[in-house]
Chain A
Amino acid sequence: MTGPVGVKAVLELDGIVKDYASEAGTFRALDGVSVTVEQGEFISIMGPSGSGKSTLMNIIGCLDSATMGAYRFDGTDISDYDEKALAKLRNQSIGFVFQQFNLLPRLSSRANVALPLVYSGVSLKDRNARADELLALVGLEGKQMSRPSQLSGGQQQRVAIARALANNPRLLLADEPTGALDTKTGAEVLALFRDLNASRGLTAVIVTHDPGVAAATNRVVRIQDGQVTYDGPPTKEALAGVGHVYDAA
């Protein structure tokens, strides 16, 4: 499970190609994407809609598999993993945060946070203890029994982040985590990501189209037409993006 000596890569995507069959013929959503993310990195994946960034996120998150190319997670090639093995990987090693929070409305915050632990076979007592600990970490002490409908958007996203952390994942994968929040709450959530990254060395990947969000990360990967058009620090030029991208095309 260890990468090359010295550098410990959490993600290694090598020449990833993803084809979709449609009525008009085969559509290539990703065309040879290679990205390496090392332990403790805080990066953003940017791109306009239709660029292939969602497809890339699904592949990184093990919700989808590539047509071609190699994907090593934590040094292990998972390209040929079956559905069951991928489910286990999602459960144990990846924490998802979504734009729409995606909490289960019927369940309390505590039960929502504990849900991944149900699928990893943790006992009820340990589940609740862990959930309470994580809710405290994201600043939601005393909200254990609240339903999502009783919480503000920012609070719901904090519950979702606590849920993503339930199994101590290797990777925190967020899809437009501030997209449904106002600027102030969005900034708070983003600060929480930064804090988790800085204090715990948690590798975090944020998929976004918002240059403001990308600016908060340490590295930006731009995707256009299924290819990586930029991979580097979040400079003004990179974030503005437009001219750069059209120059390349």
Chain B
Amino acid sequence: MLGAMLAEAWSALVANRLRSILTMLGMIIGVAAVILMLAIGSGVQVYIERQISSLGSNLLIISSGAARTGGGFAQGIGTAPTLTLDDADAIARLPTVVAAAPQSGFGAQVTAGPTNWLTQVSTSTPSWFQVQDWYPDEGRAFTEMENRQAARVAVIGRTVADELFGANDPLGQQIRVRGVTFTVIGVLPKRGQGIGGSNRDDTIVLPLNSAQRLVQGGGVFRRSVRTISVSVATPAAMVPTEEAISLLLRRRHQLAPTAPDDFSITNITAVGDTFAETTGAISLLLGAIGGISLVVGGIGIMNIMLVSVTERTREIGIRMAIGASRGAIRLQFLLEALMLSLAGCLIGVMLGTGIAVIAGKFLPFETVITPASVIISFAISAAIGIFFGWWPANRAAKLSPIEALRS
């Protein structure tokens, strides 16, 4: 009986083709909106997660200067170089610390032959590659020995390599940073955009010692560094390590118990979590807006089903006279409402997916269609079809056969 009723529901919808399509439009737009919003939402989430993890996992960044001061002029992070190379060495000896990379940096015009390029120069120890989890895929990283000897070697990012050398092999080439010549020994693989849209591949990494000794302005304060990046062994050790580093640095900097920290520690994973939470909330909000259009679509279905029941009162009477029970009549109209909502959902999923794929080509990140969003769309559409179809179907089922036949 169900198969016959499905076929009948289908033929009833096909008989009123234009009306069925217009009714489905509400569902189509609603589902497409939900699919699109969730695709953008999860796309942003994946994008940010990738950005966070590209910074290195289990990463603590210690900056010179307190994040907040008691009053008067606020000290920005990194303005007072209170951290030293010795601090970095001491931190590296903590049991839960895998590596600690002291790091400074400056912007500089870099030249290679006739071409030049303005880029960001980072100066650090070989631990930098380990902490960033970012090793050259062409050539090699510089060694501790090269750092100690202030060797004139440089590792460059993909963007710098492309801008300065184009299609040529950058390895072994000479670049000049503030008048000092360095030999390119490695090129870092592409990492794309960082948080805030900066191009992470637009960078040069020099040995800390080399920069401090050779480059003018490369190390105004000898043995001082702007930041120390710390890689922690496990995620669980992040908070204890943060506390241990704080205690260690306060002792080393001989701060009185009441004095504020002269450094600040940023937990990148925690920052990432906050980002993920925020984007999760945003995509939920966007999905909810799509959900509202679904409800509006559902009301459209209810409206048209009520019209349909009124129009087909005589048909209902005939069916009852030849033996359709009230349950069968109710089922027939419910199936029609359900078919409308599910067909609308199917078209909406296809439309939403199509738009999401096209949108992904224009947005800075890829949109992600999750199976869950499709399943949720179908579940919600089915629920809407049943919920908004119930009342009209019940109205049809409750008709008196005599009255219905007389209409």
Contact = CB atoms under 8 A, between A and B. Distances in A.
A102 B318 contact: yes
B332 to A, nearest CB: 10
A63 B316 CA distance: 13
B402 interface: yes
A119 B325 contact: yes
Top 7 A-B pairs, shortest CB-CB distance: A91-B323, A87-B325, A116-B322, A118-B4, A90-B323, A119-B323, A102-B318
A11 to B, nearest CB: 17
B327 interface: yes
Contacts of A98: 321, 405
Interface of A: 58, 61, 63-64, 83-84, 87-88, 90-92, 96, 98, 102-104, 106, 115-116, 118-121, 124, 127, 163-164, 167
A141 B285 CA distance: 62
B323 A88 contact: yes
29 contacts: A61-B321, A63-B320, A63-B321, A83-B325, A84-B325, A87-B320, A87-B324, A87-B328, A90-B323, A92-B323, A96-B322, A98-B405, A102-B317, A102-B318, A106-B11, A106-B12, A106-B15, A116-B323, A118-B1, A118-B4, A118-B8, A119-B1, A119-B319, A119-B322, A120-B323, A124-B3, A124-B4, A127-B4, A164-B322
B326 A84 contact: yes
A84 B322 CA distance: 13
A83 B322 CA distance: 13
A126 to B, nearest CB: 12
Interface in B308-354: 314-315, 317-328
A118 to B, nearest CB: 5
Interface of B: 1, 3-5, 8, 11-12, 15, 314-315, 317-328, 401-402, 405
A102 B323 contact: no
A157 to B, nearest CB: 14
A233 to B, nearest CB: 30
Contacts of A91: 322-324
B358 to A, nearest CB: 39
Residue among A61, A102, A167 with the most chain B CB within 10 A? A102
A113 to B, nearest CB: 10
Contacts of A63: 320-321, 401-402, 405
Contacts of B325: 83-84, 87-88, 119
Contacts of A64: 402
A248 B328 CA distance: 46
Residue among A64, A104, A119, A124 with the most chain B CB within 10 A? A119
A87 B326 contact: yes
A98 B319 CA distance: 13
